[in-house]
Amino acid sequence: MSESLRWNFDDLVEMAVTGQVSQPALRRGGYTPWPDGRGVMLPGMSGIVYNARVGDRAFGWAGDHVEPGVSIANADEQADFALHYLTCIGNEAEVTTGLARGAKGIVTGEHARLLVDFEPEVLEEMTIGDTVQIRTRGRGIRLEDHPEIEFKKTSPELAEAYGLTLEHGKVICPVAMELPARIMGSGAELNAEFVDQDLMSGDRALMAELGIDRMRLGDLIGIRDVDHRFGRSYRDGWAAICICIHGDSVMTGHGPGILTLITGPADRLDFQIDPGANIAETLGIRSAASSGSSSVAMGDAATGGAA
């Protein structure tokens, strides 16, 4: 990381928020439709997901919107919004109740619930309802010399892990792949500080053509011609850096969840393809041994991600 990138880490306030491990729930009726209307019933959201972890593939699971690791929420709506709005990717979490009390984890995403990664042996000790406390830090984070660039949900640890560089006054972020703006879908109706925006994977041939189907959970993602400051919309000459937080979906207009981390004008913010740009590695979440056993080998993803 370049010496000349000055962060305001010393000014950030660190604050605890809590949530409880959620119970998976299904809508009345239960079915989720494929684009042709065929209904399926699939697991994925909420609860403790034992076998899908950040660093693993985002596509191909027999699941819908698979949330890797442990999904936590707070039953009080206002407290839950604090959980959503204060928590940053890379923040440290700790189990404060139950058999796994004291175990440490790392926040890897924000969906309708917060997603926290724990070592597999910790998951074995956890149960629905256990409280997880997060030391939130990162709201208000900025680069002192680059006020045009806005950071969202970026912990100081993630800020360091981005591997940002400076080229001719432009901040460059390594990303595992690029997505075209025209496939950004569900979530367009929300503000950009709340959860993610799904990429639309319904055009399966396009996913294969662009190599998008090789995306991994935790991949950094670049999108051109979008402004993600106060919502997510098409805007010529802007860019966003995001992270893949949940798995693919069968539903039209849905797909892997892409959460905004950085946005700014394209003459100030750019990205370059680096297949290793995944927080499982860059945040040191998974040891070499465990990530080596994942179904997509490291460095194998996103070789054809450019739109």
Please report, as ranges, the residues that interact with another protein according to CB under 8 A. Answer: 33-37, 81, 84, 180-192, 194-195, 198, 200, 202-203, 205-206, 225, 227, 229-236, 251-254
* Cα gap 237→147, rounded to integer Å: 17
Q: How many CB atoms lie within 10 A of CB 286?
A: 23
Do residues 242 and 143 lie in contact, with contact meaning Cβ atoms separated by under 8 Å?
no
- Least separation in angstroms between residue 239's CB and another protein is 14
* Cα gap 232→234, rounded to integer Å: 7
Q: Which is nearer to another protein, 252 or 290 (CB)?
A: 252
- Least separation in angstroms between residue 173's CB and another protein is 22
- Least separation in angstroms between residue 274's CB and another protein is 26
- Least separation in angstroms between residue 215's CB and another protein is 16
* Cα gap 155→107, rounded to integer Å: 10
* Cα gap 133→100, rounded to integer Å: 13
Q: Which is nearer to another protein, 85 or 135 (CB)?
A: 85
Strand pairing report for 177-179 and 220-227:
parallel
3-state SS class at 171: strand
DSSP element (H, E) containing 261: strand 257-265
Residue with tokens 């080596």: 292
Q: Which is nearer to another protein, 135 or 224 (CB)?
A: 224
- Least separation in angstroms between residue 84's CB and another protein is 8
Q: Which amino acid is at 51?
A: N
- Least separation in angstroms between residue 228's CB and another protein is 8
Q: Which is nearer to another protein, 100 or 181 (CB)?
A: 181
* Cα gap 134→87, rounded to integer Å: 7
* Cα gap 106→66, rounded to integer Å: 17
* Cα gap 191→48, rounded to integer Å: 27
Q: Which is nearer to another protein, 210 or 285 (CB)?
A: 210
Q: Which is nearer to another protein, 19 or 156 (CB)?
A: 19
| Among 109, 97, 102, 103, CA closest to 122 | 103
| Among 196, 204, 221, 199, CA closest to 271 | 221
Q: Which is nearer to another protein, 163 or 265 (CB)?
A: 265
Q: Which is nearer to another protein, 135 or 142 (CB)?
A: 142
- Least separation in angstroms between residue 263's CB and another protein is 11
- Least separation in angstroms between residue 78's CB and another protein is 10
| Among 276, 278, 197, CA closest to 231 | 197
